[in-house]
């Protein structure tokens, strides 16, 4: 019986991929990709020619059974997301769970993920932290923030460019304007930016500057 390989890919800089990840991408029969166009760019850069199949949040429920059967039949499959480690705020969890249920071995390679460099860049305590991923867009959003405002550990969020101002405004409301925060944008890329300060200061900065790229928000835990 074959197994599923979960393969992290660079979050921006194409050099941030391990030799083992490249070897595995060369060895698998099929690559399940969150966005085949994005993964094609990576494979082309490293001269890797493999069959790509779209596997994303809109179709993964319907395709899992077929993927499981293919792995059982001996097809070697690798799973990648657009960037970073699959299943971390990206598709992958459901497939991993089904593989375990079916007795299929999973081999997860270590590699890039955006929240780790953002956490270390923040200068906030790294020994204990809470990774929240994306906040709910509507239902449950304020409830979650109300719980997290009392968190003593460092809290990490992912956010999109068009919701950053809204999220920072809500952090000021729930966590307080003086809470320390660090916003990392375009990590590993040419225009990487890390803005640190109080929520009020960082909100003021982004109210006066263009916001582009993927974003990680790191919030200092409450000091008691």
Q: What is the CATH number of the domain that holds 135?
A: 3.30.950.10
- The reply to whether 224 falls in a domain is no
Give the distance, in angstroms, between the CA of residue 129 and the centroid of all CA atoms in the same chain.
Answer: 16
Contact 221, 152 (CB under 8 A): yes
pLDDT confidence band for 203 (50 / 70 / 90): very high
pLDDT at 193 over 70: yes
Cα angle 58, 63, 64 (rounded to 5 degrees) comes to 110
Is the same domain home to 84 and 128? no
What does the block give as tokens for 176? 């307080």
* pLDDT for res 2: 82
Checking if the pLDDT of 73 tops 80, the result is yes
Mean per-residue pLDDT of the chain: 95
Q: 187 pLDDT exceeds 60?
A: yes
Work out the average pLDDT over 111-124: 96
Can you tell me whether residue 135 is helix, strand or coil?
coil
Does residue 174 form part of some domain?
yes
Residue 57: the pLDDT is 83
Q: 104 and 120 in one domain?
A: no
Assess if residue 14 is contained within a domain: yes
Domain encompassing residue 97: 4-108
Does residue 21 belong to any structural domain of this protein?
yes
Provide the pLDDT for residue 158: 97
Check whether residue 81 and residue 124 sit in a common domain.
no
Residues 203 and 167 in one domain: yes
Task: Give residue 58's pLDDT.
Answer: 84
Question: At residue 179, does pLDDT exceed 90?
Answer: yes
- Provide mean pLDDT across the span 149-166: 96
Q: Which of these three, 87, 108, 129, is where a domain ends?
A: 108
Decide if pLDDT at 214 tops 70.
yes
CATH code of the domain containing 16: 3.40.1010.10
CB distance 205 to 146 below 8 Å: no
**98 and 124 both lie in a single domain:** no
| pLDDT higher than threshold 80 for residue 40 | yes
Q: Which of 69, 91, 108 is the last residue of a domain?
A: 108
Decide if pLDDT at 1 tops 70.
no
Number of structural domains found in the chain: 2
């Amino acid at each position: 019986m074959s197994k599923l390989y979960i393969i992290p890919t660079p979050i921006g800089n194409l050099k941030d991929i391990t030799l083992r990840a490249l070897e595995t991408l060369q060895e698998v029969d099929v690559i399940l990709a969150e966005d085949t166009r994005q993964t094609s760019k990576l494979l082309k850069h490293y001269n890797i020619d493999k069959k790509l199949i779209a596997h994303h949040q809109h179709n993964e429920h319907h395709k899992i059974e077929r993927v499981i059967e293919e792995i059982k039949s001996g097809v070697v499959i690798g799973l990648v997301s657009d960037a970073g480690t699959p299943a971390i705020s990206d598709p992958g969890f459901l497939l991993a769970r089904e593989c375990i249920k079916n007795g299929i071995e999973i081999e997860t390679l270590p590699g890039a993920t955006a929240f780790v460099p953002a956490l270390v860049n923040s200068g906030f305590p790294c020994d204990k932290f809470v990774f929240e991923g994306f906040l709910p867009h509507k239902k449950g959003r304020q409830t979650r923030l109300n719980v997290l405002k009392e968190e003593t550990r460092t809290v990490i969020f992912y956010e999109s460019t068009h919701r950053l101002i809204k999220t920072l405004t809500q952090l000021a409301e729930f966590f307080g304007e003086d809470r320390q925060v660090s916003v990392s944008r375009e990590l590993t890329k040419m225009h990487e930016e890390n803005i640190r300060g109080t929520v009020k200061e960082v909100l003021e900065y982004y109210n006066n500057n263009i916001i582009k790229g993927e974003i990680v928000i790191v919030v200092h835990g409450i000091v008691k």
